Amino acid sequence: MASAAPPLRAIALLGLLMLLWGTNWSIFRIALDEIPLWTFRSVTIVCAATLLFAVALARGERMAVPRHLWGPLLIASLMNLTIWNVATAVAVMHIPSGHAAMLAYTMPLWTALLSSLFLGVRFSARMGVALALGAASVALLMGPNFAIYAGAPIGMLAGLGAGLAWAIGTIVVKRTDWSDMGLTFTAWQVALSAPPILLGAVLFDGGGIPDASWLAWGTTIYIGLVPMAIGTATWFAIVGLLPMQAAALSSVAVPMVAMASGILVHREPLGPVQIAAIACAVAALWLALMPARAAKPA
């Protein structure tokens, strides 16, 4: 039997996510060149949480979280927002943005490994090929850059750690019944990540307001309101619409846009290896998201 086609809404949301998150990577450095990491993340999280709660209230959603959901919500927030936001910012500070994006977007591979080891998930041959192509895409980009990673191991480990944390968070989100929390679910995840990051800003950045340019502050606020708030809400909508592995693999599209924007903004390299990586990622997405053709009757 042919697999069902993904909802058109999921495809549209994926296109939006590619644009919001993909272009986000190349502008990180504009803010981080002038604003300390913890302060930068504190501002983006406060902006995102404020917007998400405001929209949820305007939609008439309940703000209360059912008691039995607090545990999964705290874990999801820690993995999807706290660790992810700090680790990705550290990665971008040490290695090119396109490379940082590819390391962080090893998430589908971590998801597959964790699901197989701990949840007993078995994959179809088609999904197995899709995962292999996704792995090949990452490997192609990582292979020629080991000299960069060797010179900046913190950047490499931070990027991979972000992908692992995101995978754990995605599994928690997918396997929990959130009782139709709607946008409030995303708002609470962002808000719960604020205290540890705000504490980090006080401990490591001094808690003051840095003397940064309007461009740096504008970029920071934009990242909080658009890629973080709208992009995160878009991602969790995709996770709710697609099977776990298909949702995870859909994220492979984002670093392709990140790579393209890195080439345009920072003049990062584009050659045969990068083109092959893009081709593998596109093929992986096609296999994961597009339905197989039904066999013709004899």
Taking the C-alpha atoms of residue 191 and residue 97, their distance in angstroms, rounded to an integer, is 26
Q: What is the residue-averaged pLDDT of the chain?
A: 85
| pLDDT given at position 292 | 57
pLDDT band at 293 (very low <50, low <70, confident <90, very high): low
pLDDT tens for each residue of 207-220: 889 999 999 999 99
Q: Which of 31-40, 155-164, 230-239, 262-271 has the lowest mean pLDDT?
A: 262-271
For the segment 268-282, the average pLDDT, to the nearest whole number, is 77
Which residue in 167, 191, 179 sits closest to 239, CA to CA? 167
Place 227 in a pLDDT band, splitting at 50, 70 and 90: very high
The whole-model pTM stands at 0.84
The number of CA neighbours under 13 Å toward the Cβ of 282 is 8
**For the segment 46-94, what is each residue's pLDDT rounded down to a tens digit?**
999 999 999 999 999 999 999 999 999 999 999 999 999 899 888 888 8
Query: Which of 282, 277, 265, 284 is CA-nearest to residue 25?
Result: 265
**pLDDT above 60 for 191:** yes
The residues near 207 (Cβ < 8 Å, ≥ 6 apart) are 201
More confident residue, 85 or 282: 85
Highest-confidence segment of 138-142, 214-218, 247-251: 214-218
Check residue 6 and give its pLDDT: 66
Where are the chain's structural domains? 8-289
Block residue for tokens 């092959």: 276
The first and second tokens of residue 91, run together, are: 């990665």
HEC readout, 39-61: HHHHHHHHHHHHHHHHHHHHCCC
- Tell me the mean pLDDT in the region 174-179: 91
pLDDT at 296: 45
Report phi then psi at 65, rounded to 5: -105, 125
Q: What is the mean pLDDT of residues 210-233?
A: 96
